[in-house]
Each structure stands twice: as C-alpha cells, then as structure tokens.
Amino acid sequence: MEKTLKGRVAVITGASRGLGRAMALALGHAGARLALVSRHAVEPGENGFEAASFACDVASEEQVSATAKAVIERFGTVDILINNAGTNVRRGVTEFSMDEWNTVIGTNLTGAFLMCRAFVPYMKGKGFGRIINMASMMAHVSIAGRTAYSASKAGLLGMTRALALELAPDGITAVAISPGPFATEMNAPLLNDAQLNQQFVSRIPVGHWGKVEDIGSLALFLCSDAAGFITGTDIVIDGGWMAQ
C-alpha cells in the first residue's frame, strides 16, 4: 500500500529541529500539509510542500488553545497530531528544583495532553486520524539523573493506551514511538563529550547513534493508511539497546 498523505493535515510539535524536523520532512514529501509548532516560529523553508509555522509553548494552556484556533483558520482541519516537543534536565533527584521538575513534566507530558485536548475535536467525524506521542526508551529503562524525563515519558505510554481505546470508534489511532540514542540537539551533552559518547556507542548493538531520518520513515508509515490496525502500542527504535 502506497504511503501517501496527500490531502492530510499534520500538526507537529517541536518541529524546528531534530526528530521533529525529520518527521515534518518525511510527511511533507509524502503530500501532507504541515502545521509546524515550536516555541519560536521559524521559516518552514522551500521544500516543495505546504507548511506554516506557529509559535507555541505546549505547556501553556492559553497558547495551545490559541494555536489550535490559528491552525484551523489556516488549514481548516487536522488529520495527524505528532506530540514531539520535549525537554530534559539531567540532575540527581535531590538536586532537582520544583521549577525544573515542572518544566520537564509540563513540556513532555502535560503538553501532549493539552495538544490532544485542543486538536482531537477537529480530528473526529472523518473515520481517519493519527496521533503519535514521542516517548523514549527511557520510559522502559533508565539511567541515573533522569527521574523527571523517565517519569514524563512513561506517563506518555499510559496516555497513549487510554487515547487509543477512547478514540478507536472514531477511526483515530494513537501510537507511541520510543527512540533510543539518536544524534539530536537534546543529546549534545553526550555527543560532545568524547568519553560519554564512547560509553553510549559501546552499549548500542548496531554500533552507532540513530539517524533522524529513521524516525521520519517510521512516522510516515504510522501516519499512512497502511498502519490503520496499529494502535495503543509503543514502537521502540533503539538500535537494539533494550534487547540486552
């Protein structure tokens, strides 16, 4: 089955860089019209597809509501929602401030809830819809200094399962993607530290960091008609890390 998204409208948060940008490019080249959501509006660029940028802090109820209104005014509908916006604070649990905890939970978990609450009403009634929540392998396993991040991503898995059951009668699927070690800006502290970088690579069975294009290809499949029977689950893409 051809993975075309012609005529579909996709909302992607955290779309200005990294995994979000890779997914936007994959969906756009497949024919989707894109609403690119990030903290600071950026020029979509000339990529041969229709895209518009919207500035929004997904942790803000007011900004998410305003963004939903603006997206509908621009595109008229929404078929696909990818909750990709995320942040991380690497710190021991006793060193975390409440502001830091709330920032991570607010962006990674509450932000996905607010986006779903705002956009799902526009997805209903068409017999088709796709929600992708970007979790992490840190929702399944963890390492020291990731209490807030792991908590937020594990919460996304529970949200995804509940959404899948709630929205199945409307033909809307909900799936989580759990990336492992990918060479993105969020992982710059590891990538730029030669010792830590080598430690990470040595634990990846395939022997290298993931390429963002791999996430783009997976997201494209999950948003296509070919993935209509996949819902309420989580797809780990980690180079074999969790198989150990």
Confirm if 89 and 139 have CB atoms less than 8 A apart: no
Closest CA to 23 of 237, 169, 239: 237
Alpha-carbon 63 to chain mean position: 18
* Residues 209/183, Cβ–Cβ less than 8 Å: yes
Residues marked as catalytic: 149
Give the containing element (helix H, strand E) for 190: helix 188-191
CB-CB contact of 199 with 140 (8 Å): no
Task: Report the Cα–Cα distance between both ends of the chain, in Å, rounded.
Answer: 34
Q: Write phi, then psi, for 228 (nearest 5 degrees).
A: -65, -15
